[in-house]
Amino acid sequence: MAIVIKTPQEVEKMRRAGAVVREVLEYVRGFVKPGATTMDLEGAAVRKMEELGVKPAFKGYHGYPCVLCTSVNSEVVHGIPSAKRVLREGDIVSIDTGVVLDGYYGDSAITVPVGEKIAPRAQRLLDVTRTSLESGIQAVRPGATLGDIGAAVQQVVEAGGFSVVREFVGHGIGTSLHEDPQVPNFGRRGQGLKLREGMVLCIEPMVNSGSPDVQVLEDGWTAVTQDGSLSAHFEHTVAVTSDGAVVLTE
């Protein structure tokens, strides 16, 4: 496992990339409404990236066709935008994207409700998943372990009555979209790789309202819950500093 330690100057470049990712996500969020398609969201993201002069991180990555992943309801991650996928009142949609700026990557995801009327359990899934990400970030500091992050996420999720996806995990990031180490959303405190100042990680809980089991559809990308339950996904790019975690995608 080759962990790439970033200099403060590199972290600063990644902060700029992260700020752009946040700007794109907030822009796209404004297009989430009943009657919109996931391809409408894709179009908004493409326009914003062009306006900001950045390259998309996802398009072309292992052949992926779009700049966004848009995963609706029981779709966990890697949902491909489509003009046929119409958002409806009460849906939830995960929007995951990344950019390359000055040779460095940023990566972040949000899950948002469609319309004003969302089922209480769906809203609770969003709240718990977001809180689990915050808990994972709070565990980040030099000398802590990957297990500390995973345990912090898992504890919040399971206390909320939900389940953590095991097949997909977070990752290191830098001049590549995916670097070592893998960052699971489950684990035991004190176990796993020790964090060092200069590491940059993507922490990204994927949380199901039912069973944790997932399957990948025939398109080779879209992962869905096996039992058809709802899934939510939140992600930040986080630097390990002497002061603890610094979120680069806020």
Whole-number percent of the chain with pLDDT over 90: 99
Average pLDDT over residues 88-106: 98
Structural domain includes residue 3:
no
Q: Is residue 211 part of a domain?
A: yes
Q: 207: domain CATH number? A: 3.90.230.10
User: Angle CA(5)–CA(9)–CA(14) in degrees, nearest 5?
Assistant: 75
Could you tell me if residue 162 is inside a domain?
yes
Does residue 120 sit within a domain? yes
The H or E element spanning position 7 is none
Q: Which segments of 84-242 does DSSP mark as H helices, in order?
A: 120-138, 146-159
Cα distances from 249 to residues 9, 32, 230, 238, in angstroms, run 16, 20, 25, 8
1 domain residue, yes or no: no
- Supply angle C-alpha 172, 177, 180, rounded to 5: 30
Domain annotation covers residue 2:
no
Average pLDDT score over residue span 218-242: 98
Helix or strand run (H / E) with residue 232: strand 231-233
Tell me which residue range forms the domain holding 222: 8-247
Which pLDDT does position 1 carry in this prediction? 75
d(CA 131, CA 88): 25
188 located within any domain: yes
Q: What are phi and psi of 109, to 5 degrees?
A: -145, 150
Contact 139, 186 (CB under 8 A): no
Tell me the pLDDT tens digit for each residue of 171-182: 999 999 999 999
How many structural domains comprise the chain? 1
pTM assigned to the model: 0.97
**Cis (ω within 30 of 0) for the bond into 181?**
yes
The angle that helices 8-29 and 38-52 make with each other, rounded to 10 degrees, is 140
Q: Give the containing element (helix H, strand E) for 141.
A: none
